[in-house]
């Protein structure tokens, strides 16, 4: 296979890294800011361009397009940088591009202290995210994830809100354990498959001829499920998430909750499900029960009890991950397809909510919803955007989230009636807390504390520099909501391929 | 008297094969000559001459990198690509120790030229140590290394903690040498015993002993000898239960010497261990395997748990070094079954060298008048006042912690993959838990340096952040960059160890 002379996938990873390196070498701030606009826009543009061309692109083995491979010198250990996109990674690659652009734009207008270092870390994170979903080599898939994860810890620790040191420490330890467990699982797949490299396609081919035994599959999947589960905040390993997101600076929270957290789910859909189908069967019922009762019901109720707006958004994202695990546990094309759609939709909507809650904070000087009120009259556009985001997050038809949740519920009915009812009750819970938050923050009488703060600093409506990133996210949500086929065709094609074990038995 | 035997023996000596060691030895002597010949005012230049000459040797080595295998000195020495890599490794260590020493020794009222002299001798002896294929050769070179280090450890002789460290290292080193020697004698003796199949007079040679052990895979005396030899080596690498000397000696020794001990001396021990395990003791894998596995688990657990509560950075780095020894032992324990584990050990050693010297470099710059008292709290607020030093320190610590994309992560990954292939699932579980624990204490250091919760730098420390001289500052920057580059692109090194 010869590499294309112009490789957009490599460029989407290399460009942010190059700018980060330039910042580290001492590029002056003025040029950095100008270049940063360009470099944050580039991956998004590449993602949209590749999305546009995906249907017509040449598909090689296993439905991958845009394949390329680069040696890094560890060929002897089966490691090389292999990039490409299939129907499952394409939607997430686009998600990473779009949310990265929004987070970047929001960071550029945020006037953060030590702006250059802040941008440097954000750029490294962006490069890692693009690389994660563009990697076909499972080693680099993990590697890029960690590349994006480490800046999160530093950003929480330095630019975080209250309790930042504790939050940074908790996130670091939880997520490192999760990452180590999943790394062990990935190494286990590679070592047991007998493939000569970490290349996912090579491993698939090897497993298609020699599938793993049921017990091995069960054990490896257990490792992956708990490793990835910690990273995706599967109940009861979720407690890092609200704490971390509560403390994280907004752009870091947007990128982490919106995109990076999807790494675990993506790994389960792209790697674990097709390679370890028998292991999945074994784990699907415990996983579904844990997700339905823990993530959806318990965390749903916990979310309702939150007073802190940002923590509430953090908990709500934990809750929505429950739906994703439910769809995964069903394991049908419909259910898993719903999971991929939900990952995209949730990524966009949660990033939007984090962005807007920071904008609310800047106007009210508090995240406590009981201390807000009446902001809607002062900042009508912000109110409109927030209500839109709430609707999207609740899963109203017309937004992308609807197309994520509906297939999951439909496929779940055939899996278990009882769990479906629990999951459906979750939608009511999320409507309650979502709408109540909007009502508390924007409508009703103004509280005294807010009035006092307003006297010091008059409230202005959301500025265009904040509006544009929010509008980008809303536009993406609506686009996918109105035309879900733009993503679902590719997802369908990728998922409808028979898993390795089934193909071998034919 | 007939001299033909001697002439034949001499004909087997290929002196050209050990030119780096010879040149280093001559350079060491030259330094002493220069000290007597040059006027006092020019003495400041002697360390620079030493560093420049070493760099010259390093370049010559790299340009003539020999990847062939050949035996010389009648089988005493074996040249291999791995040995060549370790030559570069030890030379790089001695250069870095000289660079650190050049800064650290200033104004402490100790003789300076001798320090550089001994460093060169020790480096040359380490090269010969990993090339030796004969137990006499091994013991003599090992003692040369150890005796040199006895002197270096107690070099700041006016400091009581340093003297304590020197004494401890002397006693422990002598004990470990005795164990090793006893083991060697047992092995040699049993290999020559009449009545055993395959008895040989070549028991001092690795190949001869290996052949004897193959023929007698369950001999009790041989087992005892092997365990004693392993114990002797375990002292050098600081593996449990022979790690007790580590924290005190690391704290008391001058910072450059701590670095030398932590990196070069440990690496030499590991390469010897690797050679012994894969080439001499394979027949006793039933014994060596479990011993190494147990040692690896205990070393990882001890190192990490003990490091958790340390506030002195030298002790912290020493105990974290113990845990690194545990991780490398994990790979050594897999080496007899998985060939890739050997490459993993070498890769791990190289990234450990780079990361450790980055951290030691920053420590040398910030060390106060009392070299033994360097606390984690001295680093609080470093990032604000010196982003450069904090950035470099972050790269070093991150690599030690095994955080991607830094090189340390690749090292850990290769070790874990090898261990998985060898079927050490239990050990891997321990290793994963230990990595998580290690994040905690490295994070504590990073937190002090980066997150501004614990106040600013003390004035005394703040006055030193610009110090260290250009050479050391450039060196740590290059090392930090190497940690990043090797994380992404392993290039020639990857090809060398993978092949």
Q: CB of A69 within 8 A of CB of A81?
A: yes
**Alpha helices, DSSP H only, in B377-468?**
382-385, 387-401, 407-421, 425-450, 459-462
CB-based burial label for B147 (10 Å; 0-12, 13-18, 19+):
middle
Which residues partner with A137 through β-bridges? A199
Domain boundaries, chain B: 24-498
Classify residue A71 by its DSSP letter: -
Q: What is the pLDDT of residue A335?
A: 85
What are residue A160's phi and psi, to 5 degrees? Answer: -70, 170
| Closest residue of chain B to A25, computed from CA coordinates | B388
From chain A residues 45-84, the ones with a CB under 8 A of any chain B CB are: 72-77
Contacts of B402 in chain A (CB under 8 A): none
Contact B417 A180 (CB under 8 A): no
pLDDT exceeds cutoff 70 at A503:
no
DSSP B254-299: -HHHHHHIIIIIHHHHHHHHHHIIIIISGGGHHHHHHHHHHHHHHH
Contacts of A173 in chain B (CB under 8 A): 436, 439-440, 443
Q: What is the pLDDT of residue A502?
A: 44
**Alpha helices, DSSP H only, in A248-306?**
250-255, 262-267, 273-275, 277-289, 299-304
Q: CB of A153 within 8 A of CB of A35?
A: no
Please tell me the distance in Å from A482's CA to the nearest CA on chain B: 39
Closest by CA to A459, choosing from A324, A363, A322, A347, is A363
DSSP B310-364: --BHHHHHHHHHHHHHHHHHHHHHHHTT-THHHHHHHHHHHHHHHHHHHHHHHHH
Q: CB of A271 within 8 A of CB of A202?
A: no
Closest by CA to B317, choosing from B241, B387, B238, B390, is B238
Q: CB of A437 within 8 A of CB of A370?
A: no
- In angstroms, the CA A81 to CA A83 distance is 7
Q: How many alpha carbons lie under 13 Å from residue B293 in its C-beta half-sphere? A: 18
Closest by CA to B438, choosing from B325, B357, B361, is B325
Contact B447 A168 (CB under 8 A): yes
The whole-chain average pLDDT of chain A stands at 84
Contacts of A10 in chain B (CB under 8 A): none
Please tell me the distance in Å from A202's CA to the nearest CA on chain B: 17
Asked if A167 reaches chain B (Cβ–Cβ under 8 Å), the answer is: no
Torsion angle of C-alpha atoms B58, B481, B258, B471, degrees rounded to 10 = 70
* Per-state percent for chain B, helix, strand, coil, to nearest 5: 75, 0, 20
Confidence band of A505 (pLDDT split at 50, 70, 90)? very low
Please tell me the distance in Å from A326's CA to the nearest CA on chain B: 29
Tokens of A197: 């490299």
What are residue B412's phi and psi, to 5 degrees? Answer: -65, -40
* Per-state percent for chain A, helix, strand, coil, to nearest 5: 80, 5, 20
Q: What is the pLDDT of residue B454?
A: 61
Q: What is the pLDDT of residue B91?
A: 95
Which residues partner with A68 through β-bridges? A83
Q: How many CB pairs under 8 A join A and B?
A: 95
Contact A76 B440 (CB under 8 A): no
User: For chain A, what's the residue count?
Assistant: 506
pLDDT exceeds cutoff 50 at A506:
no
pLDDT exceeds cutoff 60 at A498:
no
| R_g of chain B computed on alpha carbons | 22
Q: What is the mean pLDDT of residues A107-123?
A: 84
Asked whether the CA dihedral B243, B247, B253, B258 is positive or negative, the reply is positive
Closest by CA to B53, choosing from B24, B87, B18, B90, is B24
| Closest residue of chain B to A144, computed from CA coordinates | B405
Q: DSSP 3-state assignment of B225?
A: helix
Which of A76, A117, A175 would you mutate first to test chain B, the one with the most B CBs within 10 A? A76
- In angstroms, the CA A358 to CA A356 distance is 5
Q: Which residues of B touch A (CB under 8 A)?
A: 340, 343, 387, 391, 398, 403-405, 409-410, 413-414, 416-417, 420-421, 428, 432, 435-436, 439-440, 443, 447, 450-453, 488-495, 497-499
Choose the weakest-confidence range: A28-37, A360-369, A478-487, B51-60.
Answer: A360-369
* Cα separations in angstroms, A258 against A40, A244, A321: 16, 14, 11
Q: What is the pLDDT of residue A484?
A: 85
Contact B436 A176 (CB under 8 A): yes
Which of A25, A137, A170, A176 would you mutate first to test chain B, the one with the most B CBs within 10 A? A176
Choose the weakest-confidence range: A73-87, A219-233, B475-489.
Answer: A73-87
Closest by CA to B261, choosing from B353, B359, B138, is B353
Contact A24 B391 (CB under 8 A): yes
Contact A74 B417 (CB under 8 A): no
Contact A146 B405 (CB under 8 A): yes
From the list B440, B450, B494, the residue facing A74 with the nearest CB is: B494
Q: What is the ipTM of this complex?
A: 0.80
Contact B417 A173 (CB under 8 A): no
Contacts of A183 in chain B (CB under 8 A): 413, 416
Q: Hey, how many other C-beta atoms are within 10 angstroms of the C-beta on A194? A: 12
H or E segment at A66? Answer: strand A65-70
Please tell me the distance in Å from A140's CA to the nearest CA on chain B: 10
> What's the distance, CA B67 to chain centroid?
22
From the list A73, A150, A157, the residue facing B492 with the nearest CB is: A73
User: For chain B, what's the residue count?
Assistant: 499
Q: CB of B264 within 8 A of CB of B93?
A: yes
Peptide bond into B241 cis (omega under 30): yes
Q: What is the pLDDT of residue B1?
A: 59
Q: CB of B396 within 8 A of CB of B477?
A: no
- In angstroms, the CA A401 to CA A413 distance is 19
- In angstroms, the CA A120 to CA A124 distance is 6
pLDDT in tens, A156-193: 888 877 778 888 888 888 888 888 888 888 888 888 88
Q: What is the pLDDT of residue B131?
A: 92
Torsion angle of C-alpha atoms A391, A397, A402, A403, degrees rounded to 10 = -150
Tokens 């080193």 identify what position?
B173
Q: DSSP 3-state assignment of A318?
A: helix
Closest by CA to A105, choosing from A353, A466, A385, A476, is A466
From the list B340, B420, B453, the residue facing A77 with the nearest CB is: B340
Tokens of A190: 């590679």
Q: What is the pLDDT of residue B296?
A: 93
| Closest residue of chain A to B394, computed from CA coordinates | A154
Contact B447 A77 (CB under 8 A): no
Tokens of B210: 């290996």
Please tell me the distance in Å from B401's CA to the nearest CA on chain A: 11
Q: What is the pLDDT of residue A26?
A: 78
Tokens 């202290």 identify what position?
A113
- In angstroms, the CA A499 to CA B342 distance is 36
- Spans in chain B with pLDDT lower than 70: 1, 452-455, 498-499
Contacts of B417 in chain A (CB under 8 A): 77, 187, 190-191
Q: What is the mean pLDDT of residues A364-381?
A: 80
Tokens of B21: 């060691």
Asked if A188 reaches chain B (Cβ–Cβ under 8 Å), the answer is: yes
| Closest residue of chain B to A149, computed from CA coordinates | B404
* Cα separations in angstroms, B8 against B15, B71, B79, B136: 15, 15, 21, 20
Q: What is the pLDDT of residue B453?
A: 63
Contact B439 A157 (CB under 8 A): no
Tokens of A496: 């409808």
């Amino acid at each position: 296979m010869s590499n294309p002379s112009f490789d957009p996938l490599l460029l989407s990873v290399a460009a942010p890294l190059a700018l980060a390196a330039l910042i580290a070498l001492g590029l002056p701030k003025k040029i950095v800011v100008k270049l940063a606009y360009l470099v944050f826009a580039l991956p998004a543009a590449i993602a949209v361009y590749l999305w546009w061309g995906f249907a017509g692109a040449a598909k090689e083995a296993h439905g991958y397009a845009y394949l390329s491979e680069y040696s890094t010198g560890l060929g002897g250990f089966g490691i090389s940088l292999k990039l490409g996109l299939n129907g499952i990674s394409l939607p997430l690659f686009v998600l990473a591009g779009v949310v990265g652009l929004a987070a970047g734009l929001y960071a550029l207008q945020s006037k953060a202290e030590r702006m250059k270092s802040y941008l440097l870390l954000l750029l490294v994170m962006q490069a890692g995210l693009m690389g994660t979903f563009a990697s076909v080599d499972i080693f680099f898939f993990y590697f890029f994830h960690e590349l994006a994860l480490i800046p999160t810890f530093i950003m929480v620790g330095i630019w975080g809100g209250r309790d930042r040191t504790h939050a940074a420490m908790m996130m670091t330890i939880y997520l490192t354990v999760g990452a180590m467990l999943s790394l062990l699982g990935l190494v286990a797949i590679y070592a047991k498959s007998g493939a000569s490299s970490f290349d996912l396609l090579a491993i698939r081919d090897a497993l298609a001829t020699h599938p793993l035994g049921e017990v091995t599959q069960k054990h490896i999947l257990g490792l992956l499920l708990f490793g990835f589960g910690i990273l995706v905040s599967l109940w009861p390993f979720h407690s890092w998430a609200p704490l971390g997101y509560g403390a994280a600076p907004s752009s870091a929270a947007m990128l982490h909750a919106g995109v990076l957290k999807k790494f675990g789910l993506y790994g389960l859909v792209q790697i674990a499900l097709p390679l370890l189908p028998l292991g999945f069967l074994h784990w699907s019922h415990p996983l579904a029960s844990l997700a339905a009762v823990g993530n959806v019901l318990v965390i749903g109720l916990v979310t309702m009890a939150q007073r802190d707006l940002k923590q509430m958004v953090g908990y709500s994202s934990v809750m929505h991950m429950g739906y994703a695990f439910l769809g995964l546990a069903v394991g049908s094309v419909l259910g898993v397809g719903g999971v991929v759609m939900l990952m995209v939709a949730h990524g966009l909507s949660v990033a939007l909510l984090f962005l807007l809650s920071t904008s609310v904070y800047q106007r009210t000087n508090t995240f406590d919803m009981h201390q807000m009120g009446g902001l809607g009259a002062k900042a009508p556009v912000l109110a409109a955007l927030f209500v839109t985001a709430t609707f999207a997050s609740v899963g109203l038809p017309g937004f992308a989230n609807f197309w994520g949740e509906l297939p999951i519920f439909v496929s779940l009915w055939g899996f278990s009636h009882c769990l479906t009812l629990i999951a459906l009750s979750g939608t009511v819970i999320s409507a309650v807390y979502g709408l109540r938050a909007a009502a508390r923050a924007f409508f009703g009488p103004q509280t005294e504390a807010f009035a006092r703060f307003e006297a010091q600093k008059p409230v202005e409506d959301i500025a265009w520099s904040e509006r544009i990133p929010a509008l980008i996210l809303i536009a993406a949500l609506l686009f996918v909501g109105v035309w879900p086929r733009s993503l679902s065709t590719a997802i369908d094609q990728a998922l409808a391929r028979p898993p390795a074990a089934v193909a071998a038995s034919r | 008297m007939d001299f033909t035997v001697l002439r034949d023996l001499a004909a087997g000596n290929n002196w050209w094969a050990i030119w780096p060691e010879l040149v280093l030895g001559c350079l060491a002597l030259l330094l002493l000559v220069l000290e007597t010949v040059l006027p006092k005012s020019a003495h400041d230049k002697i360390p620079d001459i030493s560093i420049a000459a070493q760099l010259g040797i390093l370049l010559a080595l790299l340009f003539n990198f020999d990847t062939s295998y050949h035996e010389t000195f009648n089988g005493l020495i074996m040249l291999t690509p791995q040995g060549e890599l370790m030559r570069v490794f030890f030379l790089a260590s001695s250069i870095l120790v000289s660079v650190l020493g050049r800064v650290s020794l200033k104004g402490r009222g100790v003789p300076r030229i001798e320090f550089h002299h001994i460093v060169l001798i020790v480096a040359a002896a380490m090269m010969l140590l990993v090339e030796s294929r004969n137990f006499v050769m091994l013991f003599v070179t090992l003692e040369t290394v150890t005796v040199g280090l006895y002197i270096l450890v107690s070099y700041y002789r006016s400091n009581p903690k340093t003297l304590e460290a020197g004494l401890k290292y002397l006693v422990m080193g002598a004990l470990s040498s005795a164990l090793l020697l006893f083991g060697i004698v047992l092995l040699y003796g049993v290999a020559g015993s009449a009545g055993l199949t395959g008895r040989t007079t070549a028991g001092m040679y690795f190949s001869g002993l290996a052949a004897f052990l193959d023929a007698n895979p369950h001999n009790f005396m041989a087992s005892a000898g092997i365990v004693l030899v392993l114990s002797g080596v375990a002292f050098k690498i600081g593996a449990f239960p022979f790690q007790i000397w580590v924290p005190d000696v690391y704290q008391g020794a001058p910072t450059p010497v701590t670095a030398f001990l932590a990196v070069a001396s440990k690496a030499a021990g590991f390469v010897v261990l690797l050679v012994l395990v894969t080439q001499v003791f394979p027949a006793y894998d039933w014994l060596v395997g479990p011993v190494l596995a147990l040692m690896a688990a205990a070393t990882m657990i001890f190192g990490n748990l003990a490091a958790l509560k340390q506030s002195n950075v030298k002790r912290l780095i020493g105990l974290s070094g113990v845990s690194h020894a545990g991780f490398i032992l994990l790979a050594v324990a897999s080496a007899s079954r998985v060939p890739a584990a050997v490459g993993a050990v070498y890769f791990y050693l190289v990234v450990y060298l780079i990361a450790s010297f980055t951290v030691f470099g920053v420590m040398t710059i910030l060390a106060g008048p009392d070299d033994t008292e360097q606390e984690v709290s001295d680093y609080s607020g470093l990032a604000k006042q010196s982003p450069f030093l904090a950035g470099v320190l972050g790269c070093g610590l991150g690599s030690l912690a095994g955080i991607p994309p830094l090189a340390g992560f690749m090292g850990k990954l290769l070790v874990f993959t090898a261990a998985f292939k060898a079927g050490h699932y239990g050990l891997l579980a321990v290793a994963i838990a230990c990595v998580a624990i290690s994040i905690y204490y490295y994070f504590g250091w990073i937190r002090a340096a980066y997150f501004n919760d614990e106040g600013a730098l003390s004035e005394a420390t703040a006055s030193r952040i610009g110090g260290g001289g250009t050479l050391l500052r450039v060196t740590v920057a290059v090392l930090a960059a190497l940690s990043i580059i090797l994380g992404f692109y392993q290039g020639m090194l990857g090809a060398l160890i993978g092949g």
